[in-house]
Amino acid sequence: MVDERRLIDGRSERTPMLAEVWVHRLDNALGRRHRHGALALYRWDDDQRPSEPHPDGSLTLSRQTATWMRTVGDRLYNATYDGQFPPPTRADIRAVRAALADFGDTYLDSVQPVDRTSGPAAHALDVGVRANTVDISGILAGSRGITDIYPAIDRFTGPDRYPLLQGAAAALTEQVSRRTGMRPGEVDALLRQTAAGQRFEAVAEYLVARDPQQRRLPDGSPRLLPDDHVDRLRTAVAHELEETFRGLSERDPQSSRGDGQRAVEQGMRNVAMRMAEFRDTIHTDQRGYAQVASVVAAVQSELATSPATTAAGRDSGALTLQLKPRTDYWSGELRETSEVLGAAGVDRSLTFDRDRVIAVLAAVDPWQPPSPTLRAAVRAVGVESARLCNPEGVVPTDAVGQALEDELARDFAERQEPRLLGALGFDPQQLADESSPSATAQVVATLAAEAGRHIGLEADDVKAQLLTTPPKQRLEKAVALSLAGSTPTREQRDRLTADLRAALTSAMEADHDGKTKLHTWRRSTAGESLAGKVTSAIHHARKGAPSNNLQRLAAAATTGQPPPGTRRPTTPTSTPAPAHHPAPPTHTRDSR
């Protein structure tokens, strides 16, 4: 016997009007444009036939669904009088909700046919998403007048057609919303409007892009990581999600919602672990990237904290933060060039010579002693990385400010060379190369030593504080540290600032001349003399006494003339000893 279906005629019953209201709400949930024209509705004569969509867009409803939709439609849209219908029972309310659920599922099957080719995991998620798309309570609440006929019908729960998978899909929405900051409705829309076979990748895209634990730059912007690293991370996250729903596909879909929710919560914990793994280690095929990243991480770790400057803090061994926690100061972008050895960009990128740095680091072998070429490459990365470790990064500054930054960065890279080599797998006990200090190095070393002596810090800790200070504020910070604990006047503070600026300017000139001469005695003498005068200038500023004319003394030192009031020596070796001999740091190579 052939089953027959009968047209539901809108002229004699109100079912089509009710269906249009519900379709409107479903189209909104699916992000679909509203259809034009009435939906063709039929109902089966056979009590056993379920509701079914057809290729022509029409729907044939089961007799039970059609009956209850007619009842609701007639009561909503036909004139009635009090007492015409008996008060609804709980069974009536459940029947109406079941009719809406059945109608909604059938309509979804019509406009979004089930994809049965995307695998069991995608199908399990699809079943849960589709069932949750028919938001029974939400649709009923938006159906004007229905709560007057069926009081509190929008506050009932169920029916869940597939509790396990509906609970899992709902948990996925909640977890993704919490981890990305998206509204639950946005996550639901993403799931509903994405093809079943592409949902895991789509969710992974948002989880990666909006990872709340992702380390960001000081201004809050995200890092620019290599494309292949991001692709691998998205693939790993999508795989974890797929495995979660693959496991659910093997279970009874009538199991409880709670079981589905717990399975997804565990799956999202696995996702978090994978994301943490990729947060700490960059997975890329870009040449030299892993080695540069290791050195940068060591630089930032070393500069992140400093001993406390207060007496109580020093006694307790407390540390103070110099860099923001959970923050990266390198954007993650690595470029190659043939024009300079190394450069830090204003966009917090790093650029290195492809042959002298990138290729050398890419070929590193920790089982062999580090060669001079490798040491030079590591120092170049250390220098440019250190330039970025301040709130402003690389910003234009004057010649004195640039000289101070250059020396602080070079000094840091040399002192930390054993640790930077250790980041590449070498024995941290390897010693750095030794060479004579520049005049600028001696001036900065003396300045750091004097400031540290007054605030109870080692000179290296003072240099780290200066290095992590915005470039245009470094000289002012150096003066403040040098005068800590004293009460100088503004005039004395300004005079010390001018004296230090003059000393650094003279040291720069001495270093430049020394590089163009066959002899280096003039640069060495200038560094020792200027270092002594820095000590004297700080001493006088702290005591409130007038400062010596450091500018005249600096000029005499850099030109080889004897200081005012002294006699020219007969030989270079008879130059009078300076008033102070700081322990000179070892020399570092220029990054260019």
Query: pLDDT tens across 559-584, in order?
Result: 555 554 444 444 444 344 444 444 44
Query: pLDDT tens across 319-349, in order?
Result: 788 888 888 999 999 999 999 999 999 999 9
For the chain, the first-to-last Cα distance in angstroms comes to: 91
Confidence of residue 198 (pLDDT cuts 50, 70, 90): very high
Query: pLDDT tens across 339-392, in order?
Result: 999 999 999 999 999 999 999 999 999 988 899 999 999 999 999 999 999 988
CA atoms within 13 A on the CB side of 491: 4
Mean pLDDT of 282-302: 94
Q: Give the CA angle between residues 61, 196, 180 to the nearest 5°.
A: 120
Token pair, residue 509, equals: 């000139």
Mean pLDDT of 259-266: 97
Confidence of residue 408 (pLDDT cuts 50, 70, 90): very high
Mean pLDDT of 534-549: 71
Domains of the chain, residue spans: 18-278, 282-305+317-374, 390-428+435-558
Confidence of residue 536 (pLDDT cuts 50, 70, 90): confident
**Confidence (pLDDT) at 485:** 81
H or E element that contains 407: helix 399-415
**Confidence (pLDDT) at 219:** 86
Torsion of CA 514, 516, 519, 520, to 10 degrees: 20
Show contacts of 74-81: CB within 8 Å, 24+ apart: 74/13, 74/14, 75/149, 76/14, 76/17, 76/18, 76/143, 76/145, 76/146, 76/149, 77/14, 77/17, 77/18, 78/14
Token pair, residue 583, equals: 């322990």
**Confidence (pLDDT) at 531:** 84
Phi-psi region of 158 (alpha: psi -120 to 50; beta: other; left: phi over 0): left
Please tell me the distance from the alpha carbon of residue 65 to that of residue 57, in angstroms, as a whole number. 18
Please tell me the distance from the alpha carbon of residue 358 to that of residue 353, in angstroms, as a whole number. 6
Torsion of CA 391, 395, 399, 404, to 10 degrees: 20
Query: pLDDT tens across 131-183, in order?
Result: 888 888 888 887 888 888 888 888 887 778 899 999 999 999 999 999 999 99
Is 0.85 surpassed by the pTM of this model? no
Most confidently modeled range among 219-228, 302-311, 429-438:
219-228
Helix (H, G, I), strand (E, B) or coil at 42: strand
Which is nearest to 432 in space by CA: 449, 446, 415? 415
Phi-psi region of 341 (alpha: psi -120 to 50; beta: other; left: phi over 0): alpha
Alpha helices (runs of H) in 31-151, residue ranges in sequence order: 63-77, 90-111, 120-133, 136-141, 146-149
